[in-house]
């Protein structure tokens, strides 16, 4: 469900101007509720990278101004009750009025989540004028100018923060510190997945595991790794009985791998170093990227590799040429059979997981954007300039950046790639898929 953000305030503070500034399309829904003489407008909007339904309660002002109750009725009140967030707008230039104070008192009593927005705070002195609104007891005012498009970045950010973390692609919030990391071990048949799992389980403290004699199909496997954290194996499909795999010799089941990828947070892709990274391995890696999962490559059978330098070089070449979207992906050479190097796997998985979860502050993010734009300005689209204004990070898991600007959504693919690559470099995020959302603003 997309959250509803309602714009509220007395007449002429600039609600409609703000609405039009934030809305992606101008869809006016005529509200035929008796007593509401002005339209209540609703439009989809993307604020701080979150898709929301934006509601303008301009109709409110036509209600009898004598009592607060009078102002809060009909569809506007209904809109407020359904709000996930209220943007309460005051006019920084005219100063507070009794109507502002009455609305504020009502909002405080209703304990609705509110952001206080001081509009018309453009230019010098704007921010200072906005501070007066602090008196309303609704937190720090966010100084903006809807008409001159100033301060909107801070507003976007505040909205994103107030709405909280959206459910991520992995379907869960990461707030429980002892929640097991969901790990998938995937790869071609015979790459050494089962051997690797057994070695991991042999070295680490198993919490639950398959009973002897059972296949690993649909059996929960959970253990504590060397770093002390819990790990749950989600990929049981890839661990099925040998006989069944050999039926489909060298045939990877995309469907079962995909199921594991969807459930996992981090994917260990086991690659047979004797064979090198081939098309099937790349396909799995790309699927993981598409699903937004962090990936670590376990470069297995390292014990049996003769020319290690050449083998490693070959792998790096393939990764550079064919997996650019996961640049810098971590590779752990190991031997599942002898156990050598296996102790390095889980710390690498944890480090990659941390990057996948990492959040970056708006200040840092916008410094990155500025330097990226300076080094390589966006190309014109159809002869018209694309002006990128600011960036936010609406979510992690995987890291997602939203960049706002005029005609931003029209930027060509290679420029998008440039942005993602410089972001990856600036914040050192190897092996983690990065999502870029480009949002046009007017
Ligand atoms: P509403 O009645 O709250 O919906 O307010 P409107 O959006 O219709 O704006 C009321 C008036 O304030 C209009 O004349 C706008 O042009 C003006 N206005 C809106 N935002 C700003 C702003 O940021 N700065 C200034 N100086 N004027 C603004
Ligand atoms: P799976 O199909 O991916 O689960 O692969 P298995 O774990 O069943 O291993 C396939 C084959 O590779 C078996 O014959 C293993 O003994 C062998 N193997 C697995 N890991 C290693 C390793 O680290 N070194 C060597 N030399 N052989 C390995």
Q: Quote the pLDDT of residue 348.
A: 94
Cβ contact 292:400 at 8 Å: no
Q: Per-residue pLDDT tens for 4-58? A: 999 998 888 999 899 988 986 544 444 444 433 344 578 888 888 788 989 888 6
Q: Is 257 touching ligand 2 by the criterion CB < 6 Å?
A: no
For residue 341, give the ligand nearest its CA.
Answer: 2
Q: Is 293 touching ligand 2 by the criterion CB < 6 Å?
A: no
Residue 56 assigned as binding residue: yes
Q: Quote the pLDDT of residue 204.
A: 55
Q: Quote the pLDDT of residue 176.
A: 57
Ligand 1 pocket: which of 12, 54, 76 to mutate (most atoms <8 Å of CB)?
12
**Greatest mean pLDDT range, 200-204, 286-290, 368-372:** 368-372
Percentage, residues of the chain above pLDDT 70: 79
Q: Per-residue pLDDT tens for 316-348? A: 999 999 998 888 899 999 999 999 999 999 999
Q: Is 333 touching ligand 2 by the criterion CB < 6 Å?
A: no
Q: Is 14 touching ligand 2 by the criterion CB < 6 Å?
A: no
- Residues contacting 211, CB < 8 A, separation 6+: 219
Ligand 1 pocket: which of 92, 123, 147, 155 to mutate (most atoms <8 Å of CB)?
147
CB-side neighbour CA atoms (13 Å) of 241: 6
Cis peptide before 398 (omega within 30 of 0): yes
Q: Which residue has the higher pLDDT, 178 or 408?
A: 408
Q: Quote the pLDDT of residue 385.
A: 86
Q: Per-residue pLDDT tens for 253-294? A: 566 677 778 889 999 999 999 999 999 899 999 989 988 999
Exposed / middle / buried, residue 116 (Cβ in 10 Å: 0-12, 13-18, 19+)? buried
Percentage, residues of the chain above pLDDT 90: 37
- Residues contacting 293, CB < 8 A, separation 6+: 170, 184, 261, 264, 265, 266, 267, 356, 398, 433
d(CA 442, CA 440): 7
The pLDDT of residue 415 is above 70:
yes
Tokens of 137: 């007891």
Torsion of CA 211, 212, 213, 216, to 10 degrees: 50
d(CA 395, CA 336): 35
For residue 275, give the ligand nearest its CA.
Answer: 2
């Amino acid at each position: 469900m997309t959250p509803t953000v309602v714009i509220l305030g007395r007449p002429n503070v600039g609600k409609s101007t703000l609405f039009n500034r934030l809305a992606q399309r101008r869809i006016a829904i005529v509200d035929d509720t008796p007593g509401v003489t002005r339209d209540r407008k609703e439009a989809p909007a993307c604020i701080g990278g979150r898709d929301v339904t934006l509601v303008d309660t301009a109709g409110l002002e036509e209600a009898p101004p004598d009592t607060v109750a009078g102002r809060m009725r009909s569809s506007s009140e209904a809109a407020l009750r359904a709000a996930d967030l209220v943007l309460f707008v005051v006019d920084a230039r005219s100063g507070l009025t009794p109507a502002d104070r009455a609305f504020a008192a009502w909002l405080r009593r209703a304990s609705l989540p509110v952001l206080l927005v001081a509009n018309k705070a453009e230019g010098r002195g704007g921010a200072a004028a906005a501070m007066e609104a602090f008196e309303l007891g609704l937190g720090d005012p966010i100084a903006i100018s809807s008409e001159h498009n100033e301060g909107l970045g801070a507003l976007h950010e505040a909205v994103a923060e107030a709405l909280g973390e959206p459910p991520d692609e992995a379907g869960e919030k990461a707030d429980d510190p002892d929640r097991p990391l969901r790990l998938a071990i995937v790869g071609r048949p015979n790459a050494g997945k089962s051997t690797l799992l057994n070695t991991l389980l042999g070295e680490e403290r198993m919490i639950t595991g398959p009973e002897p004699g059972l296949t690993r199909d649909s059996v929960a496997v959970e253990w504590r790794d060397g770093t002390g954290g819990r790990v749950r194996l989600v990929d049981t499909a890839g661990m099925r009985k040998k006989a069944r795999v050999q039926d489909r010799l060298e045939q990877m089941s995309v469907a079962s791998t995909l199921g594991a990828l969807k459930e996992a947070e981090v994917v260990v892709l086991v690659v047979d170093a004797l064979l090198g990274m081939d098309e099937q391995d790349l396909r799995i890696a790309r699927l993981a990227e598409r699903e937004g999962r962090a990936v670590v490559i376990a470069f297995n059978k390292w014990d049996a590799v003769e020319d290690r330098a050449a083998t490693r070089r070959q792998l790096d070449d393939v990764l550079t040429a064919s997996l650019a979207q996961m640049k810098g992906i971590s590779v752990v050479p190991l031997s599942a059979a002898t156990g050598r190097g296996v102790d390095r796997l889980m710390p690498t998985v944890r480090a990659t997981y941390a990057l996948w979860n990492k959040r970056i502050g708006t200040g840092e993010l916008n410094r990155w954007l500025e330097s990226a734009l300076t080094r390589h300005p966006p190309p014109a689209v159809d002869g018209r300039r694309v002006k990128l204004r600011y960036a936010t990070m609406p979510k992690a898991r995987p890291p997602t950046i939203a960049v706002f600007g005029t005609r931003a959504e029209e930027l060509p693919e290679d420029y998008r790639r440039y942005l993602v690559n410089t972001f990856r470099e600036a914040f050192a995020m190897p092996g983690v898929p990065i999502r870029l959302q480009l949002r046009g603003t007017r």
